[in-house]
Structure 1
Amino acid sequence: MSVNEGILERVFHLKAKNTDVRTEILAGLTTFVALAYIIFVNPNILADAGIPKEAAIASTICATAVATFLMSIWANFPIAVAPGMGLNAFFAYYVVGVLHLSWQVALGAVFFSGIFFLILTLGGIRQAIIRAVPMNLKSSIGVGIGLFIAFIGLKNAGIVVADKATFVTVGHLAAPAPFLACIGLIITAVLVAREIKGAILIGILVTTLMGMVAGVVQVPQGIGDIMSFHLPNMTPTFMELDIRGAWEFGIFSIVFTFTIVELFDNMGTLIGLTRKAKLMDDKGEIENLDRALTTDAIGTLMSAIFGTSTVTSYVESAAGIAEGGRTGLTGITITVLFLVSLIFAPLIGLVPGFATAPALILVGAMMMAEISNVSFDDITEAVPAFLTIIMMPLTYSIANGFAFGFVSYTFVKVLAGRYKDVSIVMWVVSLAFLVNFYMRLY
């Protein structure tokens, strides 16, 4: 073992996790490719709030790199942390668009939510909530996330599209993107079945190349299509948050929504991914949970300082976990690649959504294996489990699935005369969800 390998072993405990350097780097590369779309999508949404797009690109990359680095070094988790989809839309289209607050004030609200996360974490409240989740719901969360990931993949590929009459329907499968995504899915599944190392990443690259051959993906014509010589400038957003403005507006309603959505979106993701990565024991305990949650809170504070919306753990990390990622070395790889993307953003942009779609669909299918641990024999367990699973993809939100599972579990158990199964924490969280649902009406 070389000196460098020895250092990596001491920091990340690779042998104890039954992994190695090559596997972790490959897993990090796979997650990065699946997640790279955030570099382009998040700035576009933030730009609608008035944030300079170039600064939004830099803040997105830097917030992701810092938060993922902390999650990797401190918690030793193979999980990427980046500005959350949904949270960025709430930031841009409600806080700024509907309430007509400046983006600086909105960043101030994000900062307050980060402080609240940190208080909840240091006080052990977030940990208590996770530990209070019944094992049946914990297994259900993994299944729900699997369906959610697969649905995202099907949507990105154009295999599933919107429909006025039925909400969703089958897309035009003969069109280049859906057709190539279907071929890519078959290729990736075969590679996984044959236990080819890097199967998911290979599938993404092959699908991208097929897109180039078919003429639906740009073929690099020169160095300008591969790398940029002008690094995006974060100065317009760095430390521009307006804390006083957020406080004077009255931050409760905004911060409460930020907190509820991010709190349970992140918790649901951590539960599902750590279980998939075998970082959860048979009793449902997650190792280094305190550190992971503290990292999330610090990441939220840093995102406000950099100039982007709230960060959260990303479900696309499941792609890297499926490749064997088990430690923070996967996250370090993701961090490095995001920093490098400041230069190679044009190259990353060549990978289309339909090329990463097969990876998401396949990972979603693999996460469905967790359904064998969900008990449907007891109706008071079956209904909450089912609602947790089905509401994640149907509402396009992990937090909503969490909410329906929690609230239904509490009320079904109590009204069935089994109130002893419901802890005080479950009652409090269910009430918080009901309050949040009510506030969304106004």
Structure 2
Amino acid sequence: MERFFKLHEHGTTITSEFSAGFISYITAVYIIIVNATILAVAGIPIEAGIIATILTSFFGCILAGLWSNSPLLLIPGMGLNAMFTYTIVQSGGFTWQEALAMTFVSGLIFVAIAFTPMAKVITSAIPNSLKEAITIGIGILLILIGFDNAGIITNSEHTLLAIGDLSSPSVITTFIGLIITVFLFIKNVPGNLLLSIIITSLISIWLGGATFEGGSFSTASFNEYFDVFGKASWAQAGNIVFWLTSISFAMVVVFENIGLIHGQSKMLNRPESSKKSLQATAVSVLSAGIFGTSPTVSSVEAAAGITAGGRTGLTSVVAGFMFLVSILFIPVIKMVPASAVSPILILIGVLMLQNIVHISMDDLTESFPALLIIVLIPLTYSIADGMAIGFILYPLMKLLMGKGKEVHPALYLIAILFISNFIIPYVF
């Protein structure tokens, strides 16, 4: 292990790496039930979604550790799972099988970018204001989804949204759970999100919002999962909208991962590791379409492992095997109620809003397109549509203000692709 991971060179030990790997796993294990819950809305059976999330996380973490030798966590990403379910399946009218095919296509595009100089071109082409806006817009969407799943907000005949039944056990449990989640997070309690899910689940049972009745502690069944693994559908491959949606999906995947990996490489003070980290992430996204889940990201929870002393890929490998062990507890994981998941969605969404401080409000050609992305992602329930408006408007405003030379040529091409995404469906 010393020779392969170069522990001494990176100033770490086997003990430190194992400890950091366990901490990384504990901070990110919530994704198993949260991701599966969101995929279930798209039609993927909950147990199959849990298994898909576990296997994808296992493969991604092992890949990150062995290929890039960085302590990354490659797991299904929050926001991308929302785009998979709410944008592509529910709003776009595609099946979850077709959405898996789009995940695979986005992985292929990502691989083509990560293993060529295109990654550097795209990184320099997208202005920071738009990168930050995507993260913030996704954050608001996650908050909206969290409130909606809990029943705190609901549809209204007279307005778009209204307050739900505040006396229902689910709503009460979610509010209590949110307070607990925020408290544990602020106190930086180890495994705070996992601990929050456990406590809130118990409260939900106590208040009558959930029950153990019908639950089983028998070993997990893979019968449902075999109907999901490798079941990407290419029935719409002849439809231009399928490919435009796939490209939009890929752009969100690429932009989000480039930003995350850049930040984590800075934490490690190892900028040279970003190239292989990006490559590992790209292959991981490709695998997600096969395993049966939404695309992976280099999760922000990796920061917990880095802070705990993780410096090499051994941290990722340990976390990966911890995810694999989770497969023994699927019957228990399935019992987690929506009211225990919603506080996690809301907290993560709020944390993503903090990026708004990085958007300069002094120049409207920078801030206005960014703010439209932030507003339109949750209002349209579509990450791709909200992002498209901002990416079209940004170069247009720069041109109108005589600042066209400030725009990277690649961004003009991206804007044209987004315009095509709006126009072509009406032509065909």
TM-score range, shorter chain: 0.7 to 0.9
Match of 1:348 in 2: 333
Does 2:13 align with 1:28? no
Q: Residue 124 of structure 1: CA displacement?
A: 2.8
RMSD (Å) for aligned C-alpha atoms:
4.1
Match of 2:73 in 1: 78
Q: Mean Cα displacement is larger for which, 189-198 or 344-353?
A: 189-198
Residues 1:309 and 1:20: Cα distance change in structure 2 (over 3 Å): closer
Deviations 1:368-417 (A, max 9, x none): 33222211011111102212222232233433343222211111111111
Q: Residue 180 of structure 1: CA displacement?
A: 1.3
Residues 1:291 and 1:25: Cα distance change in structure 2 (over 3 Å): same
Q: Number of matched residues?
A: 414
Match of 1:437 in 2: 422
Match of 2:365 in 1: 380
Contact residue 182 and residue 347 of structure 2 kept, 8 A = yes
Residues 1:54 and 1:208: Cα distance change in structure 2 (over 3 Å): closer
Contact residue 264 and residue 398 of structure 1 kept, 8 A = no
Deviations 1:330-364 (A, max 9, x none): 75566445433443222111222221222232233
In 1: Cα distance, 2:303 partner to 2:238 partner: 44
Contact residue 61 and residue 317 of structure 2 kept, 8 A = yes
Match of 1:407 in 2: 392
Q: Residue 301 of structure 1: CA displacement?
A: 4.1
Contact residue 200 and residue 323 of structure 1 kept, 8 A = no
Q: Residue 290 of structure 1: CA displacement?
A: 3.5
Q: Residue 438 of structure 1: CA displacement?
A: 2.0
In 1: Cα distance, 2:293 partner to 2:352 partner: 28
- Structure 2: stretches of 5+ with no match in the other structure: none
Match of 1:270 in 2: 257
Q: Residue 135 of structure 1: CA displacement?
A: 2.3
Does 2:210 align with 1:217? yes
Q: Residue 171 of structure 1: CA displacement?
A: 1.9
Residues 1:239 and 1:395: Cα distance change in structure 2 (over 3 Å): closer
| 2:219 maps to amino acid | S
Match of 1:65 in 2: 58
Residues 1:380 and 1:424: Cα distance change in structure 2 (over 3 Å): same
Scaled by the length of structure 2, the TM-score of the pair is 0.78
In 2: Cα distance, 1:439 partner to 1:35 partner: 37
Residues 1:146 and 1:237: Cα distance change in structure 2 (over 3 Å): closer
In 2: Cα distance, 1:111 partner to 1:362 partner: 29
| 1:228 maps to amino acid | T
Q: Residue 432 of structure 1: CA displacement?
A: 0.9
| 1:424 maps to amino acid | P
Match of 1:417 in 2: 402
Q: How does 1:188-227 map onto structure 2 within 5 Å?
A: 188-219=181-212, 225-227=216-218
Task: State percent identity of aligned pairs.
Answer: 28
In 2: Cα distance, 1:322 partner to 1:164 partner: 44
Deviations 1:181-236 (A, max 9, x none): 11121222233334433333322221111112112222378xx6234254447656
Q: Residue 150 of structure 1: CA displacement?
A: 2.5
Deviations 1:410-442 (A, max 9, x none): 111111111111110110111111111223445
| 2:217 maps to amino acid | I
Match of 1:311 in 2: 295
The DSSP-based 3-state class of the residue aligned with 2:30 is helix
Q: Mean Cα displacement is larger for which, 160-169 or 416-425?
A: 160-169
Does 2:374 align with 1:389? yes
